Structure 1
């Protein structure tokens, strides 16, 4: 297990020094091996995990297959119904490199350092760039497929030394784009592995898609980015609509408005924490707000945000002491966060064992309402000052 260092070079228009590296992860079994070909800046090397992680076995869901689409090349498809929150693929990147532009020789050597089978997988990937734009075929594959990676998650590099890195995945990158994706990726910098997982129920025969752009952006902005970076026009249901009649323009404007609202919802609408402290607000104000957000996310296919809304609803029901409703929404939270945030999912699993005993904030708001009513009947003014910092139990 180690990193083999090689010659130093620079990116075009930069004096920053880079090296080609081969990260080799070796496990206890012969098949437990991952080789990642990289271009890394010298200042990043000390920040890599030490020791490097033992490899995680590559995982492929038995119901996921690569099949040919009618006009988008290869794609991933579900052979059977797959529920939300399921791991679809676990894969190491074949390549890791910064956003800068390097010589053709560097890109060619980057690909050549992979084992033969992995290199064949890489070279079979889509390349939307012309030879004039990208003289190296490997560079064309990189610029068509790379997913952004965080290699300094603890923020140890000075701000002026930070840069974007990307990873290329011969299998995960088979997933085509939609502005209403049914799957997402999660990069784990400690293990150098990316997990691809479902964010809503996927039906048998349905294509498994991820988004290449921020789905909260307006339709035209999304189309422009996809055309510039990936050389295609999105044909998802939210983009493939007419734009010549007043009705069509109104439909596009409404979708753009709803997507913008969803992108900022948690910052512009009252949340569980503030609501729980404010007895002047109605008991259902947050629940109603986030049910509306869930409805909009369903309409716009922005299911990647739903775990935030579902969790808020669950926590509100805990403060109201509604056991049945809390159990329903807590189970949904666990399903949607067990891949993205397993610590949070485990917290909810612990609470579900016995919510009234396990949760410090259980029924707090209901209790305060009952106390308020008793005081009102006695003619006592309602003055409640309570430090809730240790009671609310909201998972960090």
Structure 2
């Protein structure tokens, strides 16, 4: 049986964010979808009219839902809409080459909530397709949308029909409604479904956000309130377009372009896909993990070389947390020869690379590691600095569990010595010295 001292160094004791919780994957092949449908049991879907209360006559969302979730959420109604900043810090405006988009009308700070809103429609991201339907594979879903759409209010119907549709049209209302949903749906996960938790929600304003491979905002869905929160990943300047991601940002540029072209019929021209100037880190990098081979030094822009280096950086970002866990465990071993600077430099350099690639939404894990490392070194100032930074990025603290996690970090920052990581590195050094004397 492991000793209690050994158990104290295990990552689960420190609370999220420092561990990455596995999330269920959306089926990507017909075989995976069939397996998920079979595991789900009842494949039938129904339409639920979502209201603020069971007494309300107005419907804010049509939820096409598998019957395993039909009675799992908010049977008495979803309650009043969540609060959001007023006046809103954005406007919806024409964007050259991109239809309309969301534009900041003032400076928006890092971590600030830009908007919280509920969907107009919600449908499963994976549905049993109906090849025998006279209107084709999506025919059953089209029928459900067409029959239920009139139950929405006039305002909701107008906002919905004003959204872009990139899917093939057949001339029917149901086809148009499903096309808009498939074009503008944002992933909204309902965790009480073990097999098919992924849904696509269409939102009045957030679905207006255009794509970037280095987005300045991110979305977080609150399944208990049926609402999506839009948060700033970094400081957004006044008149800057507010962007989110439509694809997997850790994938190579070519794969991202293929995905966007296939699903949304456009080619991304953001600075990460069509660089017009050299991309340089904000300061020199020191940890060997972040060394990149074949990086050009010329001031001239070699587009292929820039994209290659960006792909390498994104791959490093995607893989860094498994390396971070190994570094942490080695650092806390009594036999460790690793320097304190090595561990800290790894995560400080990670923050530089993450900012360079516009992937700030991933940085919270590195900030948490830096806070825990300072606690392990009994560095109160460093722990409070990184802990307060983590707390300020409140997008990770959603729902009841998130609220408890946030309170835990606030308590630790007030009293750093209550952190479960406090003094761990100091203690392992003492153990190593003791063994050396023996």
Measured against the shorter chain, the TM-score band is 0.7 to 0.9
Is 1:208 the equivalent of 2:242?
yes
1:275 to partner: Cα distance: 4.4
Query: Is 1:102 the equivalent of 2:139?
Result: yes
Q: Which residue of 2 aligns with 1:64?
A: 90
Match of 1:344 in 2: 405
Please tell me whether the aligned partners of residues 186 and 200 of structure 2 are also in contact (alpha carbons under 8 angstroms): yes
SS at structure 2 position matched to 1:237? coil
Aligned length: 356
Measured at CA, do residues 196 and 247 of structure 1 come closer, stay the same or move farther in structure 2, by a change above 3 Å? same
Query: Deviation string for 1:100-120 (max 9, x for gaps)?
Result: 323443322343221111111
The secondary structure found in structure 1 opposite 2:207 is: helix
Aligned residue among 354, 361, 374 for 2:421: 361
More relative contact order in 1 or in 2 (CA 8 Å, sep 6+)?
A: 2
Gaps spanning 5+ residues in structure 1: where?
1-12, 382-396
For 2:311 and 2:225, the matched residues in 1 are separated by 37
Say which of 101, 116, 122 aligns to 1:90.
Answer: 116
CA RMSD of aligned residues (A): 2.9
1:325-384 Cα distance to aligned partner (Å, 9 max, x none): 22211111111135544433322211121213x3243233234435655x48xx723xxx
User: In the aligned structure 1, how far is the partner of 2:146 from the partner of 2:420?
Assistant: 58
**Taking structure 1 as reference, are residues 193 and 271 closer, same or farther at Cα in structure 2, changes over 3 Å only?**
farther
Is the partner of 1:289 in helix, strand or coil? helix
Instruction: Report the alpha carbon displacement of residue 50 of structure 1 after superposing the two structures with TM.
Output: 4.0
Which position in structure 1 is the counterpart of 2:30?
Answer: none
Which of 206, 222, 230 pairs up with 2:264?
Answer: 230
Query: Structure 1's 286 and 179: CA in aligned 2 closer, same or farther, altered over 3 A?
Result: same
User: What is aligned with 2:274?
Assistant: 240
Q: 1:272 & 1:333 partners in 2: Cα distance?
A: 21
1:223-265 CA-to-partner distances (Å, cap 9, x unmatched) read: 11111111111111001248xx993222211111110111121
- Hey, what's the Cα distance between the residues in 2 that align with 1:290 and 1:221? 27
Q: Which of 56, 69, 77 is matched with 2:103 structurally?
A: 77
| Distance verdict in 2 for CA 1:284–1:337, change over 3 Å | farther
Structure-to-structure mapping, 1:191-340, within 5 angstroms: 191-241=225-275, 247-270=302-325, 274-275=329-330, 277-279=332-334, 280=336, 281-337=338-394, 340=397
2:288 corresponds to:
none
Residue of structure 2 equivalent to 1:116 = 154
Deviations 1:283-324 (A, max 9, x none): 233211111211110111111111111111111011101122
CA separation of 1:34/1:316 partners in 2, compared to 1, >3 Å: closer, same or farther?
farther
Answer with 120-129 or 16-25: which moved more. Answer: 16-25
1:145 aligns with 2:192: no
Describe the superposition over 1:58-83 as per-residue Cα deviations: whole angstroms up to 9, x where unpaired.
Answer: 52553221121112111111111111
- CA–CA separation in structure 2 for the residues paired with 1:181 and 1:330: 24
Residue range with higher mean Cα deviation, 270-279 or 165-174: 270-279
With the length of structure 2 as denominator, give the TM-score of the two structures: 0.74
Give the deviation of 1:213 after TM superposition.
0.5
Q: CA deviation at 1:45?
A: 1.4
**Gaps in structure 2 of 5+ consecutive residues:** 1-33, 128-137, 277-299
Q: Residues 359 and 38 from structure 1, CA distance in 2 versus in 1: closer, same or farther, beyond 3 angstroms?
A: closer
Kindly report which structure 2 residues correspond to 1:34-49, keeping only aligned pairs within 5 A, or say none. Answer: 35-49=60-74
Secondary structure of the 2:340 match is coil
Q: How does 1:180-191 map to 2 (within 5 A)?
A: 180-191=214-225
Hey, which bits of structure 1, 4+ residues long, moved more than 6 A? none
Shift in Å, 1:197: 0.9
Q: Is the 8 A contact 1:94 1:167 kept in 2?
A: yes
Say if 1:141 and 1:60 are closer, same or farther in 2 by CA, change over 3 A: farther
Q: TM-score, normalised by structure 1?
A: 0.81
Shift of 1:270: 3.6
Q: Note if contact 1:182-1:208 (Cα within 8 Å) is conserved in structure 2.
A: yes
**In structure 2, C-alpha distance between the alignment counterparts of 1:268 and 1:108, rounded to whole Å:** 50
Report the Cα offset of residue 17 of structure 1.
2.3
Question: What is the deviation of 1:188?
Answer: 1.2
